[in-house]
Amino acid sequence: MSDISDRSDRSDTLKKEVLMRYIFTLLALLALGWPAAAALPAASFLVPKETTRDTGYTAIEVGLDGMVYVGTAWYGGSAHLIRLNPATGKWEDLIDAHKLTRDTGVGLDSQSKFHAKILVGADGIVWAATKQGNEEFTNRPEYGESAGGFPGGHLFSYDPKTGQAADHGILKKQEGIMGGAIDNARRRIYYVSDPKGHFLIYDIAGNSVRDLGRSGPTPRYMGIDAKGRVFVVGAPLPGDNAPGAITMYDPQTDRLYQLAVNVEGDLKAYGSPYVIVMNADGATLLGAAANCKYVLEYDLSSVRLNNANSFANGAITCRLAAEIKPGDTHAGTLGKDGCFYFNSGAILYRYDPAARAADEVGIIAPPNNRDGATVYSQGAAAGPDGTLYMKFIYPYQVLAFDKLTAPKGEN
């Protein structure tokens, strides 16, 4: 573990960062002629250049120690697991994927991304997994057929108490690891492989993995409900305007089920969700889809197994819950206030499942954004104090929205 924060100006306190962001935002708004929506104040923490080629994906989570764990991407090289102390702005490099695995792949064959969602167990252990860099699968001559090429994504753990990092091996030969959900009760971790989309169950105690077969396309997000059932975006179903399925894993039967989606409301307005998060009550799954003008709310009590559709094992009902402005959506998380926070383009939304209402929290304006108003959000996580951490690329940075998701009266 090495401290790599001295080189940067990240030693500023969160408070200073917030103040600077206020001033920056004010000046920017004045220059733009005061647009309707206000940019949200946030502290920016640039990801250290030694650990990334300026990009990263869904891999972000806040540990039980309050540290922000972030996975980086390094196309053609080795990805890193790093962590941020938001109080000091210091970064630490915890895992260099190639160093720990002794993998020697280069280019397309390297462990280039910590893309899967970072998971934190009830014991505080942090789990992260790697995948290929460039998503070139169709034309790679060796894909799936040769001992060479990309060997497969590794699963890693990091114990903040001991500072020990471990490589638990490749979960599926020549497949990357995506998605990610942890079941603390059953001591299991769920992932989906990339590109074949196989549902993988990792048993923490036994250090073993099972492949239950294809669940659908490779997802970024997975959710576990109160019964331990795992939900993930499923395969497209044949037919015009047929909504893509939701795949469910039921630990009671140890089986995967493909669920057709019954949309309550305008079927054409439905979009297959990119972000899904489990509601705090474990009874509804919340979703946001790219360019969809509704927040999606799946009623998990509506799951029925039947033979109504031969491409599915049953159905689930989805409500078009609240209207939003459609945009690109990649990042979302459940706030400490029980609301679903996600981006739609540069707008940060908050969906309150209790009120079934969505509101615009504000405009996200990452500093030094290379594409002007186009914002590339990649992942989100909420800290114990309700601070919302979101990742952005170009430049690769974490924005901290101070106590934004804290329950009312605590922020």
Q: Which two tokens stand for residue 317?
A: 């009902």
Structure-token match 């030694």, residue found: 50
3-state secondary structure of 56: coil
By CB under 8 A, residue 240 contacts another protein: no
CA dist 192 and 160 (Å) reads: 26
**Least distance to another protein, CB of residue 274, Å:** 15
CA dist 8 and 386 (Å) reads: 26
Count of positions on this chain that bind another protein (CB under 8 A):
33
What residues contact residue 62 under an 8 Å CB cut-off, 6+ apart? 68, 69, 120, 381, 382, 383, 384, 389
3-state secondary structure of 173: coil
**Least distance to another protein, CB of residue 254, Å:** 11
Span 37-96, contacts to another protein by CB under 8 A: none
Give, in degrees to the nearest 5, the angle at Cα 394 between 392 and 395: 80
For another protein, which stretch binds (CB under 8 A), given 149-157, 219-227, 250-258, 370-378?
Answer: 250-258
Residue type, 215: S
Contact pattern for another protein over residues 131 through 170, marking x by CB under 8 A: ------xxx-xxxxxx------------------------
By CB under 8 A, residue 236 contacts another protein: yes
**What strands, in cross-sheet order, belong to the sheet with 377-382?**
43-46, 397-401, 388-392, 377-382
Is the Cβ of residue 169 or residue 338 nearer to another protein in the bound state?
169
Is the Cβ of residue 24 or residue 137 nearer to another protein in the bound state?
137
CA dist 83 and 98 (Å) reads: 18
**Least distance to another protein, CB of residue 255, Å:** 7
Q: Which two tokens stand for residue 265?
A: 């409301």
Span 312-341, contacts to another protein by CB under 8 A: 312-313
Of residues 16, 99, 161, 173, which one binds another protein by CB under 8 A?
173
**Least distance to another protein, CB of residue 166, Å:** 27
**Least distance to another protein, CB of residue 245, Å:** 8
For another protein, which stretch binds (CB under 8 A), given 10-18, 191-199, 336-344, 367-375?
Answer: 191-199
Instruction: Report whether 190 contacts 201 (CB < 8 A).
Output: yes
**Least distance to another protein, CB of residue 132, Å:** 14
* Of the candidates 159, 103, 95, 158, the residue with the CA atom closest to the CA atom of residue 132: 103
By CB under 8 A, residue 356 contacts another protein: no
Of residues 202, 257, 274, 294, which one binds another protein by CB under 8 A?
257
Interacting residues toward another protein by CB under 8 A: 137-139, 141-146, 173-174, 195-197, 212-217, 235-238, 255-258, 307, 310-313
